Structure 1
Amino acid sequence: MNGPDVVVCGAGVAGLAAACALGRLGRRVLVLEKQPTPAPVAKGEVLQPGSLAILEEWGVTDRLDHAGATRLSRLVARSSDGRPRMVLDYGRLPAAHPWLLAHDYQAILDALTDALPAGVEVRRGVHVRAPLRTGDRVTGVRCDDGDIPAALVVAADGVSSRLRAAVGLSAPRHDYPHRLAAFELHDVDDVEPDFSAYVTDGGLRLHYPLPGRRVRLYVQVAPDELRGLGRDGLDGWAHGVLAGCTGLAPLAGPFRAALARRQVLPVSRSMAHSLVAPGFALVGESGHSVHPMAAQGMNSAIADAHELATVLRQGGTLAADVVDHALRRYDTARRENLAHIGRTSHNAARMITTRSWVGRRALTGTGRNDRIRHEVMHTMAGLGVRRLTPLDRLHQIELVPDPRASRLPSWVPRAASGEAAR
């Protein structure tokens, strides 16, 4: 390709989504990725309805369907014995895709790569060393094999983004006091097509089905809980997990068989003070991260890419002043949305991962309140932010009775009016 209009640094979901969105504007996009091949990771596997609408525009949704992606009809918070305490029934959403879609992270990367427009080039094994600057404006990147000028640089290089730091942007990171141990269970039959989170005395247990009779299971652990355990120690640990969460009994055999293939993942949340600098934008985890409990991280990255392309399309040119004006609009729109999503994800995580009285009451209260449950589901689905008032918060923890608890919001299709809290 000739010199690129845009350089995207990072070829994860955020980077490929940005390349897909910007390439569809007719821009020449160069994606640079330091890893020669993608690393296998147990993350970024569940897509929300709002993301599916964007991915359908790009031709990605059909590719995932053809690759056998699994549709999940509900997000369910359960007691340790498996009984539902809060059910978000996605079939009630006024959306073109009223479901969650689950597939392996690599399959999602492949679908995005296959959908890239002709003007996009991906180069792997390239180390981006620093941004190029003209005054206070980013004008390209410096790599091992030379300088690459561009009208816009997009950082999609992850939560520890070196580019973000080099440009002078900060994203304070707050680590949760636990980790998530991830397991891929094989040969699983008859698992419900739900995204299920269990509330237990030991913390979060979360699972959902993947294609090929597989299930992804996450177990909340202390930072050093599994360190140094041999086979006998792991068997004893697994016995304790299953004893404390009897709802996992149908998965007991595949869980024990998967113990040696575990990944232990750190969990944190962050939000950049600004997503932009002149000539420079952050997308995905380089700008923000959330607890995976609410399945928002990858979906927020896709929304970043879509919004960035929207404001640049409206600008119509890549002249420096036009680009920077568009970037300021991107920052304003996304930071407001991301701040709300961050709070929602954090509150959802606290409901499940801690023994907070308020969190547990909020979970039960939301499950019993049709109106609030639908407002929360709309936001989590990525269909637009529905804000809860301070009074709604009191209704959630059932300190104040809600006379509208059985009334669904006006945006809910009338066919859903007979829905009962399950």
Structure 2
Amino acid sequence: MTKGHAAPGSATADVVVCGSGVAGLAAACALGRLGLDVTLLEKKKRQPPVAKGEILQPGSLDTLQEWGVLPALEARRAVRLKRLVARQADGAELLAMDFGTLRCAWPWMLSHDHTTILECLAESLGASVRWRRGVLVEDVLTDAHGRVVGVRAAEGANEYDIRARLVVAADGMSSRLRRLAGMTADPVAYGHKLLTLELSGTPAPADEASAYLTERGLVLVYPLPDGRTRVYVQVKADELRRADQTRLQRWCDELLAAVPALDPLAVLVKDSLDRRQLLPVWRYRAPSLVRPGIVLVGEAAHGVHPLAAQGMNTAIGDARALAARLATVRVREEATLDEAMRAYEAERMGRIRDIHFMSHDAARLMTGTSPGVRRLNRHLLVRTAKSARLRYLTTYNVSGVGMRPLGAVDRLVQLGVLPARGRLPRPGPAPE
């Protein structure tokens, strides 16, 4: 770590946010709305398109409405998804999570390209936010007591320091800021990857996302704007390594044979193979979110399987909760700032833990490939669907509106040891 005084040409800010993905843009937006002087740094000069982070949950939409992001997304033809449905490979419904059963202002998910979501967040940044692209954060600045008091940045050949009351690390799973601050996270890779395809010119879509339980694992399908459809296919880590065109076509034929529900999209699936992306899948939680002068948000702090679409939405929740804590204190007073950061950590750690476990449970339900595991998972999904209480709780938890983890009795109902329980009174939104 760099200790001591600021270098020549240094700058100051109330807050420095490092990374301008969803977490960084959300944090800069939320903190800028408090009137704080925010500097947002991003090492990339342009955001490359990636096939992830495309679904916003109902629990995030109220925040995005408040920030002015939701109207911008809907003006760009974002797609409303009113249900998330687990299905058999032939399309038969196993469990439907209907967001219309929730008591919330926006009872649907919203899908759009990741780059468009970033653009709409960027447009919502206030006048007190300065955004610098092409800037690499090389180190953190600390005082004599080890408190983080800013960052050392490099912009081309120019190096300079930015002093700040708070540094927000929003620089992703392999966060450099987290490491420099002496904080840890231990990502665990799932035993599979996700191959992603974007189909153009698809038929008029249903207003839902479908997750198929198949012999090869998870297949996830949902619509995007402008007549496009996203398809995720679970593959073994090395399944398509060095695959030539003949091997790809054979793999595609095997996929279509294993998932008859994809028949209407068969030609488009084959045509999209050359534009495929392959994404590794991780899960992790940092054991701590704060150190004096620095806080982790988004994928710098946590990562989950993308099936339940919680990663981007949890990052938005981080930003909202962080701003709520800072709104009540004077950021320039270290003692009150540290107290607010401890309160933020205590609040978010429980929420992140519950989302982590829920997302992992959902992934295990849909990604098992052995016949015995698939039979058990199908049984659990069907039993959940038969119980009004479990169906509602599952929908509520996935929606991001709140979290009511399933209890021991609920698990026994899922297994069929106990009969289905009655309808749960609809819980109101839980605080973030």
**TM-score, with length taken from structure 1:** 0.95
Counterparts in 2 of 1:248-397, with a 5 A limit? 248-355=262-369, 356=373, 358-397=376-415
Aligned to 2:43, which of 20, 34, 37?
34
SS at match of 1:37: coil
| CA RMSD, Structure 1 to Structure 2 (Å) | 1.5
The match for 1:214 is 228
Q: Percent identity?
A: 47
Q: CA deviation at 1:339?
A: 0.3
3-state SS of 1:314 partner: coil
Distance 1:109 1:191 in 2: 24
Report the TM-score when normalising by structure 2.
Answer: 0.93
In structure 2, the residue matched to 1:398 is 416
The letter of the residue matching 1:397 is L
Supply the distance in 2 between the matched residues of 1:147 and 1:371 (Cα, whole angstroms): 55
CA shift for structure 1 position 250: 1.3
Superposed structure 1 runs of 4+ greater than 6 Å apart: none
Decide whether the 8 Å contact of 1:206 with 1:217 is kept in 2: yes
Distance in structure 1 (CA, Å) of the matches to 2:359 and 2:33: 31
Please identify, of 243-252 and 379-388, the stretch whose mean Cα deviation from structure 2 is larger: 379-388
Note the residue ranges of structure 2 that are not aligned, 5 or more in a row.
1-9
Residues 227-266 of structure 1 aligned to structure 2 (within 5 Å): 227-266=241-280
Deviation per CA, 1:74-122, whole angstroms, max 9, x where unpaired? 0000000011100000111111100000000000000000010110011
- The alignment covers a number of residue pairs equal to 411
- Name 1:181's counterpart in structure 2: 195
Cα deviation for residue 389 of structure 1 reads 1.0
Cα distance change of structure 1 residues 395 and 318 upon mapping to structure 2, 3 Å threshold = farther
Determine whether 1:150 maps to 2:164.
yes
Deviation at 1:214, TM superposition (A): 0.3
Matched to 2:304, the amino acid is: V
Letter paired with 1:87: A
SS at match of 1:151: strand
Q: What is the letter of the counterpart of residue 237 of structure 1?
A: W
- Which residue matches 2:4? none
Deviation at 1:387, TM superposition (A): 2.1
Letter in 2 for 1:394: L
Return the offset for 1:324.
1.0
> Cα deviations across residues 325-354 of structure 1 (Å, max 9, x unaligned)?
111111111110010011000000000001
Tell me by how many angstroms 1:190 deviates. Answer: 2.6
Q: Does 1:96 align with 2:105?
A: yes
Q: Secondary structure at the match of 1:77?
A: strand
- Asked if structure 1 preserves the Cα contact closer than 8 Å seen for 2:26 and 2:316, the reply is yes
Q: 1:357-406: CA deviations, max 9, x gaps?
A: 543332222122111111121121111111211111111121221342xx
Which residue identity does 2:353 align to in structure 1? Answer: A
* Aligned residue among 131, 140, 143 for 2:150: 140
Which SS does the other structure have where 2:122 is aligned?
helix
| Corresponding position of 1:125 | 134
Segments of 5+ residues of structure 1 without an aligned counterpart are 413-422
Q: Which secondary structure state, in structure 2, belongs to the residue aligned with residue 268 of structure 1?
A: strand
1:3 positional shift:
2.6
Give the superposition deviation at 1:213. 0.3
Is the 8 Å Cα contact of residues 389 and 421 (structure 2) preserved in structure 1? no
Tell me which residue corresponds to 1:417: none
Match of 2:64 in 1: 55
Aligned 8 A contact 2:329 2:336 in 1: yes
Tell me the amino acid that sits aligned with residue 361 of structure 2: N
Q: How far apart, in 2, do the equivalents of 1:37 and 1:410 lie?
A: 44
1:114 is aligned to 123
The equivalent residue for 1:87 is 96
- Name whichever of 35-44 and 368-377 sits farther off: 368-377
1:191, distance to aligned residue in structure 2 (A): 2.5
Partner of 2:184: 170
CA distance in 2, matches of 1:2, 1:223: 45
SS at match of 1:21: helix
Q: Distance in 2 between matches of 1:403 and 1:21?
A: 41
Residues 267-294 of structure 1: CA distance to partner in whole angstroms, max 9, x if unpaired?
0100000011111110100000000000
2:85 aligns to what SS in structure 1? strand
The more displaced of 364-373 and 63-72 is 364-373
SS at match of 1:116: coil
Partner of 2:3: none
Once residues 376 and 172 of structure 2 are traced to their aligned partners in structure 1, the CA distance between those partners, rounded to angstroms, is 33
Tell whether the 8 Å contact from 2:387 to 2:421 is kept in structure 1 after alignment.
no
- Distance in 2, matches of 1:182 and 1:150, equals 40
